Amino acid sequence: MELSFPSINTKYSKPVLGAVLVDAHGENSTDSYWLLRIKSELDDPKGVMESWSLDANVCTWYGLTCSYDQVVGLNLSWSGLSGSIPDDLWRLSSLQTIDLSTNILTGEIPPELGKLQNLRVLLLHSNYLSGKIPPEIGLLKELQVLRMGNNLLSGEIPPSIGNLSELRVLGLAYCQLNGSIPAEIGLLKNLTSLDLQNNSLSGLIPGEIRGCKELQNFAASNNRLEGDIPSLMGSLKSLENLKYLNFLGNGLSGNIPSELNKLSQLEVLDLSRNRLSGTISLLNTQLKNLTSLVLSDNALNGSIPSNFCLGDLNLQELLLARNELLGKFPLELLSCSSLQQLDLSDNRFSGELPPSLEKLANLTDLALNNNSFTGTLPLEIGSLSNLENLYLFGNMITGRIPAEIGKLQRLRIIYLYDNQMSGHIPRELTNSSSLTEIDFFGNHFTGSIPDTIGKLKNLVLLQLRQNDLSGPIPPSLGYCRGLQFLVLADNKLSGSLPPTFRFLSELSTITLYNNSFEGPLPQSLFLLKNLKIINFSHNRFTGSIFPLTGSNSLTALDLTNNSFSGPLPPTLATSRNFRRLRLAYNRLNGSISSEFSQLTELNFLDLSYNNLVGEVPAQLSNCTKLEHFLLNNNQLTGTMQPWLGGLQQLGELDFSSNNFHGKMPAELGNCSKLLKLSLHSNNLSSTIPQEIGNLTSLNVLNLQRNNFSGPIPETIQHCMKLYELRLSENFLTGFIPAELGGLSELQVILDLSKNFLSGEIPTSLGNLMKLERLNLSSNQLQGEIPSSLGKLTSLHMLNLSSNHLRGQIPTTFSAFPLSSFMGNDQELCGPPLVACPESEGQSKRRLSNAAVIGIIMAIVSTSTVICLVMIYAMLRIWCKWRRQVSISNLDANAGFDHENKIREEKKRWGFVEEKWRINVGEYWKVDSLALVPSPQDKESPTTTTTSCIFNLKMDQDSMEKTLV
pLDDT of res. 863: 61
pTM, full prediction: 0.78
| 544 residue type, one letter | S
CA distances from 946 to 844, 933, 942 (A): 21, 6, 8
Closest CA to 252 of 274, 234, 271: 274
Per-residue b or e along 886-903, where b marks 16 or more CB atoms closer than 10 Å to that residue's CB? eeeeeeeeebeeebeeee
User: What average pLDDT values come out for the chain (964 residues) when binned by 10 residues?
Assistant: 34 31 44 94 96 92 93 97 95 96 97 96 98 97 97 97 97 97 95 96 92 92 92 69 94 92 91 96 83 96 85 85 96 91 97 95 97 97 97 98 96 98 97 97 98 97 98 97 98 97 96 97 95 98 96 96 96 93 97 94 97 97 97 97 96 98 96 97 97 97 98 96 97 97 96 98 96 97 95 95 95 93 91 79 45 52 61 56 38 39 34 28 26 31 30 32 26
| Helices marked H in 23-128 | 29-40
Cβ within 8 Å of residue 506, ≥6 positions away:
481, 482, 483, 484, 530
Q: What is the pLDDT of residue 232?
A: 65
Give Cα separations from 42 to 35, 36, 58, 87, 776 (angstroms).
Answer: 11, 10, 18, 11, 82
- Determine the Cα angle at 666 with ends 661 and 671, to 5°: 110
Task: Let me know if 826 is exposed, middle or buried by CB neighbors in 10 A (0-12, 13-18, 19+).
Answer: exposed
Distance CA 100, CA 226 (A): 35
Whether omega for the bond prior to residue 617 falls within 30 degrees of 0, making it cis, is no
